[in-house]
Amino acid sequence: MGSAHLTIDLDAIAANWTALNAKTSDHVETAAVVKANGYGLSASRVARRLWKSGVKSFFVAVASEGKTVREAVGKDADIYVFSGHMAHDTDVLNSANLIPLLNSPEQVTRHFNEAPGKPFGVQLDTGMNRLGMEPDDWTDLRSDLMSAGPRLVMSHLACADEPDHTMNHHQLRTFHELTDGIAHRRSLAATGGILLGPDYHFDLVRPGVGLYGGLPFSEATPVVRLTAPVIQVRTVRPFETVGYANSWTANIESQVATIAAGYADGLIRAMGPRAKVFAGDVPCPVVGRVSMDLITIDVSHLDEVPEHLEILGTHQGVDDLAEAAGTIGYEILTSLGSRYVRTYEGIA
């Protein structure tokens, strides 16, 4: 096989959901965030697998993603849309029976005019200043919204991956001030918020990245394995160079393998010299620049060069690779390319 191979373990995603669910008490619902095509791994397959595990609520970023999830899981799941009710969304929200999380007075007006009686939730801003209704608008609209019966009132934490950050407590207090006493379900925590403990859990938690094996859920089961075939191996003599801009020079005679994966597959150039790939258990350094379709690897220390080298797996997770590239696991996951041969393991 000439292409790199991405294996996605759906049972590991289900196991991560179960492990996160176990961190909350029984009255707290654990939903699943499957935006950005399930963090790059297929929203349909992930949602279908989790639905079979008993997940009842899903969250997506935009309405069109919600339609895909609806087709995957059938009519009974609750599917929430973070971007709310945007212009031209009414048809897809209604036909797929999605629940927009209304973010502004404009969205409230649009929803009540264009989809009267249809379900909705409310997203409040508690300090992140990204998405959600401002406290003053909430004060003005609160009684109208409450009498219409939102399915969920939620907000999002800006710094939940840093447990000691004072922003967490500040946002928690603000969320209490804005919502204490309402008769509707509340949600504040994503993956990081679940790990902050029960004060942050309210009625529903919304993990995303932890399901897919990423930090801050450090106990996660790895979900993805990525291997790339070795196209050729050559001897590079001392003072010869490898790659664009002559970016690596051999000090001693070296064996360099070229594998079929590159930045067009989401292996961003920034990971260059600090990244490794694995031959079985043995790490092998990347040498030279990452090209569009190819990466060069120093394999001098191997007795035998295998047919495939492993880029992601148990030895190197998405966050390890992210660190080598100066980014975060979320970006590595959602950048995984369309050229990979994808295999889904586990029941689906």
Ligand X SMILES: *Cc1c(COP(=O)(O)O)cnc(C)c1O
Which residues are identified as catalytic?
Answer: 35, 244
State the minimum distance, in angstroms, from the CB of residue 60 to ligand X.
10
For 315-327, letters b (16+ CB in 10 Å) and e give bbbbbebbbbbeb
Which of 80, 82, 175, 248 contacts ligand X by CB under 6 A? 82
User: Does 30 contact ligand X by CB under 6 A?
Assistant: no
User: Does 209 contact ligand X by CB under 6 A?
Assistant: yes
How many CA atoms are closer than 13 Å to the CA of 108, on its beta-carbon side? 21
Which of 33, 60, 311, 322 contacts ligand X by CB under 6 A? 33
Q: Which range, of 18-26, 184-192, 237-245, 306-314, touches ligand X by CB under 6 A? A: 184-192
Among positions 117-156, residues that touch ligand X (CB under 6 A) are 156
Q: Which range, of 45-53, 205-213, 246-254, 279-287, touches ligand X by CB under 6 A? A: 205-213
Cβ proximity to ligand X, 35 vs 48, nearer residue: 35
Which of 208, 222, 272, 329 contacts ligand X by CB under 6 A? 208
**CA–CA dist 1, 270 (Å, integer):** 27
User: Does 250 contact ligand X by CB under 6 A?
Assistant: no
Sheet holding 32-33, edge to edge: 32-33, 57-60, 78-81, 99-102, 121-123, 153-154, 186-187
Cβ proximity to ligand X, 66 vs 210, nearer residue: 210
Cβ proximity to ligand X, 172 vs 299, nearer residue: 172
User: Does 190 contact ligand X by CB under 6 A?
Assistant: yes
Q: Closest residue (Cβ) to ligand X?
A: 208
User: Does 243 contact ligand X by CB under 6 A?
Assistant: no
User: Does 207 contact ligand X by CB under 6 A?
Assistant: yes
Question: Cβ–Cβ contacts within 10 Å for residue 284, how many?
Answer: 21
Cβ proximity to ligand X, 215 vs 277, nearer residue: 215
Q: Which range, of 13-21, 22-30, 185-193, 223-231, touches ligand X by CB under 6 A? A: 185-193
User: Does 40 contact ligand X by CB under 6 A?
Assistant: no
State the minimum distance, in angstroms, from the CB of residue 325 to ligand X.
18
User: Does 55 contact ligand X by CB under 6 A?
Assistant: no
**CA–CA dist 93, 82 (Å, integer):** 12
Residues that bind ligand X (CB under 6 A): 33, 35, 82, 156, 190-192, 206-210
